[in-house]
């Protein structure tokens, strides 16, 4: 398989994607394409060893910055690393693509260049969250606001396929994010979605609440992208608050520094548990090829995790499985409407 990496996006580009790309070519036996400014990438690449037949550079001179309007940027910057990578993916010059940085341009490239799977109403950005119960998938994490029940049903199906194929969870359970456990609780959207999820081809758990996020009550958490994005950023904010609080606590004085030393292995474990880098990136589900979005601050380790994730998504044929699941969802939808 061949993985296309936009090597210019994110805070640590091009170092992180180049280092991870070289490592992937070396360790995973897959072909890597690094897309970006050729000379910059060549220089960076010279610091690493890698099998030359497994790694190529494709030149792309432009870079989309954080301040550009996403759709416009993707439409006009034809030679940006993101657009070149997405075009290669659409033209089947690679099996999957990995980009990082701002969500907007990646979504735009995914929708406008790679394209939706026919029948998918709105692709969803899914994100793996660390929980007490292992990594769980939250979707939509911000690609779609003002969702309809049909969107959430498709998110539930796509999320289930992802957890089954990439995270090896048998019969992933799906929770509908709401504000009460009972069927009747929630807002108009969740109430309408609940009955549709009951007849969807998934292992539906029922409603979940905010407290279930960190408990990891279900393998998949389904919600409108507004809610999902607020939840995701709240969790990230709590994680960073926790990190800062611990640091302050540890560095207070000589005694607390000894305390920190005594606890170092436990702190490391906790850090690892809530470290997004362990979990790779956020897949954009519902587009015609595997597209993984990395966190803007991804380092080489995070990029490498995302590459492994993309590899598994390709090997387990996520896209094809989503396509074939659509017949099942559509049928149950039509039945309800009759």
71 binds a copy of itself (CB under 8 A): no
From 79, 145, 195, 327, residue interacting with a copy of itself (rule: CB under 8 A): 145
- The residue (of 40 and 273) whose beta carbon lies closer to a copy of itself is 273
Told to check if 236 binds a copy of itself by CB under 8 A, we report: yes
Provide DSSP, 73-125: HHHH-TTBHHHHHHHHHHTTS-SEEEEES-HHHHHHHIIIII-BPTT-SS-EE
Task: Draw the binding track, 172-201, toward a copy of itself (x: CB under 8 A; -: no contact).
Answer: -----xxx------xxx-x-----------
**What are the two backbone dihedrals, phi and then psi, of residue 3, each rounded to the nearest 5 degrees?**
-110, 130
Q: What angle do CA 222, 147, 171 make, to 5 degrees?
A: 25
Strand partners of residue 99 = 293
- What track of x and - describes contact with a copy of itself for positions 271 through 290 (by CB under 8 A)? --x-----------------
Among 42, 198, 233, 328, contact with a copy of itself (rule: CB under 8 A): 233
Q: Which of 244, 272, 327, 330 binds a copy of itself (CB under 8 A)?
A: 244
Q: Shortest distance, CB of residue 75 to a copy of itself, whole angstroms?
A: 18
C-alpha distances in Å from residue 222, one per residue of 109, 116, 118, 147, 162: 24, 20, 21, 11, 13
Query: 307 preceded by cis ω (within 30°)?
Result: no
Q: How far is the CB of 204 from a copy of itself (least distance, A)?
A: 19
Q: Determine, following the binding rule CB under 8 A, whether residue 134 of this chain makes contact with a copy of itself.
A: no
**121 near a copy of itself (CB under 8 A):** no
DSSP state of 287: B
Residue 22 near a copy of itself by CB under 8 A: no
Contact between 214 and a copy of itself (CB under 8 A)?
A: yes
Q: Which two tokens stand for residue 323?
A: 């396509």
């Amino acid at each position: 398989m061949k993985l296309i990496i936009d090597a210019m996006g994110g805070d640590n580009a091009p170092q992180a994607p180049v280092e991870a790309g070289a490592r992937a070519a070396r360790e995973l036996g897959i072909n890597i394409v690094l897309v970006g400014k050729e000379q910059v990438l060549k220089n960076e690449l010279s610091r690493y060893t890698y099998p030359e037949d497994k790694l190529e550079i494709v030149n792309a001179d432009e870079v989309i910055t954080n301040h550009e309007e996403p759709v416009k940027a993707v439409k006009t910057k034809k030679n940006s690393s993101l657009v070149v990578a997405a075009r290669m993916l659409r033209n089947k010059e690679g099996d999957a693509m990995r980009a990082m940085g701002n969500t907007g341009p990646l979504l735009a490239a995914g929708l406008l260049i790679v394209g939706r799977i026919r029948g998918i109403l709105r692709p969803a950005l899914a994100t793996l969250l660390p929980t007490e119960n292992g990594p769980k998938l939250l979707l939509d994490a911000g690609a779609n606001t003002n969702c309809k029940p049909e969107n959430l049903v498709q998110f539930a199906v796509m999320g289930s396929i992802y957890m089954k194929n990439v995270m090896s969870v048998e019969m992933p359970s799906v929770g509908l994010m709401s504000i009460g456990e009972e069927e009747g609780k929630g807002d108009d959207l969740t109430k309408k979605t609940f009955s549709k999820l009951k007849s969807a081809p998934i292992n539906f758990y029922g409603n979940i609440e905010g407290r279930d996020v960190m408990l990891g009550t279900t393998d998949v958490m389904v919600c409108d992208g507004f809610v999902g994005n607020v939840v995701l950023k709240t969790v990230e904010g709590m994680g960073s608050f926790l990190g800062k609080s611990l640091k302050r606590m540890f560095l207070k004085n000589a005694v607390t520094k000894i305390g920190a030393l005594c606890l170092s292995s436990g702190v490391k474990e906790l850090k690892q548990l809530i470290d997004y880098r362990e979990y790779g990136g956020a897949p954009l589900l519902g587009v015609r090829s595997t597209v993984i979005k990395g966190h803007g601050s991804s380092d080489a380790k995070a990029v490498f995790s995302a590459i492994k994730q993309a590899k598994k998504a390709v090997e387990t044929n996520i896209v094809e499985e989503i396509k074939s699941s659509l017949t099942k969802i559509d049928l149950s939808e039509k039945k309800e409407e009759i």
